[in-house]
Each structure stands twice: as C-alpha cells, then as structure tokens.
Amino acid sequence: MKTFVANSTADTAKLAAQVAALAQPGLVIALVGDLGAGKTTFTKAFAAALGVSDRVKSPTFNILNTYETGRLPLYHFDAYRLEETGAEEQGFEDYLGTDGVALVEWPQFMAALLPASQLTIDFSRGQADNERVLTVTGFGEAAAIEEQLR
Ligand SMILES: Nc1ncnc2c1ncn2[C@@H]1O[C@H](COP(=O)(O)OP(=O)(O)OP(=O)(O)O)[C@@H](O)[C@H]1O
Ligand SMILES: [Mg+2]
C-alpha cells in the first residue's frame, strides 16, 4: 500500500499519468471513493496519458465507455447504477483482464466480475477543498505497478 496526497487536480493527474505509463493489457484498476472524490478526474488524466484523443465523459448512464485511440484500449466503467440491476449477463467480462486496461468507478457493484489481480486506488477527501488522499494497493500482478510509483 502506498499513499499519495494530491493538493490539486494536477497532482491527481500526475499520479494517473504514472500509472498509465506502467499499464499493460489486462490491467484492472478499481477506483474506490465517494461522489466527487476524483475517480472520473483521475480517469480523464489517465486517458490523456495513454494518448486517447476522444473526450472522456463519465459513463454514469451507460455504465461502460470504450476508447480505442490510445496506446491500449481503455474501458471506463461506472458501476454505480448496477447496485439495483446487478452486473451479470451484460458481457462486461469481455472488457476485464483482456486486451485493454479497465478503470472501474464504484467497483463494489461489480465485484464478482473483477479479477483478484488488480490495482485498487482509494480516494478520500483531505482537509482542504482540493486535497485528496489516494491510497494505491496492487494485488497479484499489479503489485509491480504499486512498487514503481513515486
Ligand atoms: N485533488 C483533486 N483530485 C481530483 N479531483 C479534485 C481534486 N481537487 C478538487 N477536485 C474536484 O473534485 C471533483 C471530482 O469529481 P469527479 O467527477 O472526478 O468525482 P467522482 O469520484 O468521479 O464522482 P462520482 O462518484 O460522482 O462519479 C471535480 O470537480 C474536481 O475538479
Ligand atoms: Mg465519476
């Protein structure tokens, strides 16, 4: 487990860029944190660092947005609405641990689909308005990514 204090969205973006540079096909990143914690902000910076040229928008209503214009395919999930419907039988497995990198907001609502090997990033608010504490834990193969973050 490694902890980073981000005092601005730029700091969050820097960590996202570091992770993006280390990302390999099949990586799953669980983004844990409350409403407004910074999960989508992180994802936008991650996408930019991967070289995604499309505008990245929160997939709150469609659950999954896919981007194919970066170094790796990027699969951006927001599982918030799956709390009601469940995550089964929607074909999401095709996007998890396969050819691209998956970033999952509200991972607790599709936990059964997520591989044990994953990078978990927990976002919590700090004292100041723009302060966020990002706690990164790499499980399985993703431990190597945690190891390399500075
Ligand atoms: N250090 C920071 N890191 C990330 N976001 C920050 C930071 N400081 C302020 N913010 C602001 O906090 C908000 C985070 O919103 P964002 O949409 O990323 O949250 P979210 O975790 O995706 O929420 P939701 O669960 O609703 O999808 C943005 O308005 C962003 O500008
Ligand atoms: Mg979001």
Q: What is the DSSP string of 30-66?
A: EEE--TTSSHHHHHHHHHHHHT--SPP---TTTSEEE
Beta bridge partners of 77: 64, 104
Q: What is the pLDDT of residue 140?
A: 98
Prediction pTM value: 0.98
pLDDT (tens digit per residue) in 62-106 = 999 999 999 999 999 999 999 999 999 999 999 999 999 999 999
d(CA 142, CA 150): 15
- Which atom of ligand 1 sits closest to the CA of residue 35? 25
Distance between Cα 40 and ligand 2 center (Å): 4
Q: Name the band, by pLDDT with cuts 50, 70 and 90, for residue 60.
A: confident
pLDDT (tens digit per residue) in 113-125 = 999 999 999 999 9
d(CA 37, CA 16): 14
Distance between Cα 9 and ligand 2 center (Å): 14
Cβ-in-10-Å burial (0-12, 13-18, 19+) of 77 comes to buried
| CA distances in angstroms from 122 to 2, 42, 92, 98, 99, listed in the order given | 10, 11, 22, 23, 24
Give the closest residue (by CA) to ligand 1 atom 13.
36
Query: Is the separation of the CB atoms in 77 and 110 below 8 Å?
Result: yes
Give the closest residue (by CA) to ligand 1 atom 4.
38
Distance between Cα 12 and ligand 2 center (Å): 14
Radius of gyration of the chain (CA): 14
Q: What is the pLDDT of residue 38?
A: 98
- Which atom of ligand 1 sits closest to the CA of residue 43? 18
d(CA 91, CA 77): 13
